[in-house]
Amino acid sequence: MAPNLDNPSPVVALAGGVGGAKFAAGLQAALPPGALTVIVNTGDDFEHWGLTICPDIDTVLYGLANVNNPETGWGRANETWAVLTETERLGGEAWFRLGDKDLALHLLRKQWLQACATLTEVTDRLRQALDVPSRILPMCNEPVRTLVHTDEGDLPFQDYFVRRRCEPTFRGLTFVGADNAALAPEVAESLRAAAQIIICPSNPYLSVDPILSVPGLRKLLRESDAPVVAVSPIVGGRAVKGPVAKMMREMGHLEHLPLTVVEHYAGLLDGFIIDQQDRAEENPLPLPALVTDTIMTDLPSKRRLATEVLQFGQSLRNGNRSADGPRHENDE
């Protein structure tokens, strides 16, 4: 896709979690400055230490600013832990690791929110302070909190995911507050103006579904004449490891197959990108697929993948859409 420098065709990405942030950084590197808008999950957000923690916004922000911790994927590079260490010594909660540089951002976000700035305004102020050329939009300005139903009762997402390391048996999810979420004008306008819409390789259930739960957002995707593609978050079928694999098994997704993800996004997609390790899974897919290396280890690999995805989306826009009409229809 030849970048049009004076009027970059706007691209909108939906992202959450570490995988989504990595791919968003690849898109930013592959596009002219200002062409990318990232709509980010806020279902992982929670109140902690009297602060409003927005892990997925911050993971995307730090990734696009190239100040993220490359080992963990979240938090800051070259971080120090003086406040966390002293908090623990004084008997405070230390299970959620907030570093000193990270804390500065949380203190400012809290101050600006208390001064009645919206989360969208606060996030835009932070991304400009970190010289990020792309726009970062919370999925909405109202609080939506992912609540995890487990055999030990209901747990706020971070309690389940970080404090308990997904040990309790997963029983289900509720996005508390989604019904009262409003479609922010910036979100609606970016989706209406998009030349391409890309669902990043984020966990469909934990990171993308909360975004799609905002009333009116899914409809904007369906109505858009921009191609909508998704990058598979699963590589090599059962390769998902650790607590997320346990959670997915307990969700009943024993097979982590590309087709499962395509069917989960029923009715939204014009194309799907799968890893070459899952080439055999391409055939049953009921929509155009790009098979490529989706492993992102460094910025060049993120940029290469993003460039291929953008070209694939462009090819769908130029009419190579699946025979059965513009969207992979599913009677849902």
Structure tokens at 85: 């260490």
Asked if residue 56 binds ligand FO1 (CB under 6 A), the reply is yes
Asked if residue 59 binds ligand FO1 (CB under 6 A), the reply is yes
Cβ closer to ligand FO1: 85 or 311?
85
Question: Which position among 23, 74, 170, 205 is part of the footprint of ligand FO1 (CB under 6 A)?
Answer: 74
State the maximum Cα–Cα separation within the chain, in Å, rounded to a whole number: 64
Cα–Cα dist 321/85, whole Å: 55
* Interface map 141-180 toward ligand FO1 (x if CB under 6 A): -----------------x--xx------------------
Question: Which position among 10, 43, 63, 75 is part of the footprint of ligand FO1 (CB under 6 A)?
Answer: 75
Cβ closer to ligand FO1: 74 or 175?
74
- Asked if 38 contacts 60 with a C-beta cutoff of 8 angstroms, the reply is yes
CB-count burial class (<10 Å; 0-12, 13-18, 19+) for 282: middle
Cβ closer to ligand FO1: 61 or 305?
61
Task: Tell me the closest approach of the beta carbon of residue 185 to ligand FO1, in angstroms.
Answer: 26
Picking from 9, 8, 79, the residue whose alpha carbon sits closest to that of residue 226 is 9
Which residue in the block uniquely carries the two structure tokens 């970048």? 3
Task: Tell me the closest approach of the beta carbon of residue 202 to ligand FO1, in angstroms.
Answer: 8
Backbone angles phi, psi at 156, to 5 degrees: -60, 150
Task: Tell me the closest approach of the beta carbon of residue 226 to ligand FO1, in angstroms.
Answer: 26
Cβ closer to ligand FO1: 98 or 269?
98
Asked if residue 52 binds ligand FO1 (CB under 6 A), the reply is no
Cβ closer to ligand FO1: 18 or 289?
18
Cβ closer to ligand FO1: 60 or 259?
60
Cβ closer to ligand FO1: 14 or 31?
14
Task: Tell me the closest approach of the beta carbon of residue 315 to ligand FO1, in angstroms.
Answer: 31
Residues 12-51 that bind ligand FO1 (CB under 6 A): 17-18, 44
309 CB-near residues (< 8 Å, 6+ apart):
27, 198, 229, 231, 273, 290
* Interface map 94-133 toward ligand FO1 (x if CB under 6 A): --xxx---x-------------------------------
Cα–Cα dist 226/246, whole Å: 36
Cβ closer to ligand FO1: 78 or 318?
78
**Count of residues in contact with ligand FO1, rule CB under 6 A:** 16
Task: Tell me the closest approach of the beta carbon of residue 209 to ligand FO1, in angstroms.
Answer: 13
What residue ranges bind ligand FO1 (CB under 6 A)? Answer: 17-18, 44, 55-56, 58-59, 74-75, 96-98, 102, 158, 161-162
